[in-house]
A and B are shown apart, each in its own frame.
Chain A
Amino acid sequence: MRERRLDRLAAPPARPGFREELWERVEAAERAATRRWRRLSVALAVVAAFAVAGATALAATLVSSKSPSAIDKTLSCTTSLQGQRPVIWVQANLKSRLVPVSSVDVLTNPAANSVVAGQQTQQSQQLAVAAAKDGIGIDDVTCVPSTRRVPLARSGLHAAPTITTTFIGSLWQSCVLANRPRADRALLHVHVTLSGGIPTNAELAVRNEVTNAPVAYVVWTPTRVVSYFAATCKPVG
């Protein structure tokens, strides 16, 4: 018969920061694994390059005949409050020794990286475009398609330094959507041009859905990012 006294066995609660520590260790382990794979892949790539050249050419032909050449989407995404104000992040990286893939990301819930309602959660991109096969992703839980018109234009925004693979290399802007403690939704309009299923150019416009105020406009290519931001955007880091 079951020993009911064991119901009273309560383990000690997790120490503060238990999950953050775990994720830090995960990231460190992943970085180490990536380094190992990179070393191995460089060696293998040299050997494999000649062998796969023909097959790659054929595959590229097949893929390009099936993949769309452009994608145009407008999304309405939730935001979360940071310091009592709705904030979104716009990030872009160009390929470098440390960053293997050039990409542009929008995080409309950056505050989710901290403790929310007593629970530690991970931050995540709501929209990601990367220079990789099928490298476009949206978060379909926090974002839904929108029919609102969001012009892909820089009007009302200030130019930020253009980044290239040899100049700065990345951008990270934190944009306050409104000066009140209300998590307004953000509108993201993205137009991506693809070649063989790989994004080669993306235009991204971000607006506050409630006020329709322009927040950001980014023109991304794998080697160059031109960006414009509202005065409420500040560089992070």
Chain B
Amino acid sequence: MVEAVVALSAPDRRRLELPQHVEALSTRRRFENMLDRHESGLRRLAFGMLGDAHRVDDVLQDALLRAYLKLPTRFENERAEAAWLYRIVHRTCLNELRTRRRRREDELVVDDPRLASRGPDVASLVLAEALATLPERARAVVLLVDVVGFDYETAAAVLRIRRGTVASRLNAARTSLRVALGDEPDA
């Protein structure tokens, strides 16, 4: 598909200062490309943070809309790009959890028949339930490192905390998670 719109005339192949509607197309393409690479990880982060399969699409869409409207012209490197995108999704999930607490909607009562056929499997539900027992900060760290697969630096960049803080939160979170999954606590 189309990657860029370039000048027909410019001998130095510089980018065009195109009218808004043409410019928007290349931004869109760049964003689509970013989504193709990260959507699966973002979805897992959102599901793990929210613990509610019904809300993942809506929350993710809010976050992606925000991301698209604030998309920087370029990123220093792929890590910076990933950290930026995951931070937005993480923050949107925290907002959603806060709103849910205010509305006391801890338990979702609506059964969406469309979701039943494409909802998460039992193992995922068990894991999501165990993750929900962790504090939000610990949950985010364990999701970013153990589920999404980020290294400590990238996870630290997403959460805007120090690398050492990631390590200590992760250690505590893994221990709590094992307990929540029914393992014997370490001696």
Q: Do A and B bind each other?
A: yes
Residues of chain B in range 83-120 having any CB-CB distance to chain A below 8 Å: 114-115, 118-120
B18 touches A122 (CB 8 A): no
Beta-carbon nearest neighbor of B23 in chain A:
A137
B4 interface contact, C-beta 8 A:
yes
Checking A19, A26, A101, A124 against B29 with a beta-carbon cut-off of 8 angstroms, the contacting residue is: A124
Checking A1, A25, A73, A133 against B17 with a beta-carbon cut-off of 8 angstroms, the contacting residue is: A133
CA distance A29 to B57 in the complex (A): 18
A222 to chain B, nearest CB (A): 12
Known: A3-B142, A5-B127. A134 touches B7 (CB 8 A): yes
Q: Chain A interface: which of B41-49, B72-80, B154-162?
A: B41-49
A184 to chain B, nearest CB (A): 19
Residues of chain A in range 38-68 having any CB-CB distance to chain B below 8 Å: 67-68
A13 interface contact, C-beta 8 A:
yes
A141 touches B7 (CB 8 A): no
> How many A-B pairs fall under 8 Å by CB?
160
Beta-carbon nearest neighbor of B16 in chain A:
A134
Checking B114, B124, B143, B178 against A10 with a beta-carbon cut-off of 8 angstroms, the contacting residue is: B124
B168 interface contact, C-beta 8 A:
no
User: Is chain B's binding surface mostly helix, strand, loop or mixed?
Assistant: helix
Q: Which residues of chain A are within 8 angstroms of B6 by Cβ–Cβ distance?
A: 137-138, 140
Q: Which residues of chain B are within 8 angstroms of A142 by Cβ–Cβ distance?
A: 1-2
B29 touches A122 (CB 8 A): yes
Of the four ranges (under 10, 10 to 19, 20 to 34, 35 or more), the interface on chain A belongs to: 35 or more
Mark A163-188 against chain B: 1 for CB-CB distance below 8 A, else 0.
00000000000000000000000000
Q: Which residues of chain A are within 8 angstroms of B142 by Cβ–Cβ distance?
A: 3, 6
Q: Which residues of chain B are within 8 angstroms of A68 by Cβ–Cβ distance?
A: 9
Checking A12, A18, A33 against B61 with a beta-carbon cut-off of 8 angstroms, the contacting residue is: A18
B20 touches A100 (CB 8 A): yes
B75 to chain A, nearest CB (A): 20
Checking B8, B25, B48, B118 against A9 with a beta-carbon cut-off of 8 angstroms, the contacting residue is: B48
Residues of chain A in range 127-142 having any CB-CB distance to chain B below 8 Å: 128, 130, 132-142
Which 7 interchain pairs have the tightest Cβ spacing? Answer: A137-B5, A11-B47, A11-B43, A139-B2, A12-B53, A124-B2, A130-B19
- Interface residues of B, Cβ cutoff 8 Å to A: 1-10, 16-22, 24-25, 28-29, 32, 35, 39-40, 43-44, 46-48, 53, 56-57, 61, 64-65, 68-69, 114-115, 118-121, 123-124, 127-128, 131, 142-143, 145-147, 174, 177-178, 181
* 13 A-B contact pairs sorted by A residue (CB < 8 Å): A6-B177, A7-B147, A9-B44, A11-B120, A12-B47, A22-B64, A30-B24, A67-B9, A121-B32, A130-B22, A134-B7, A138-B5, A139-B4
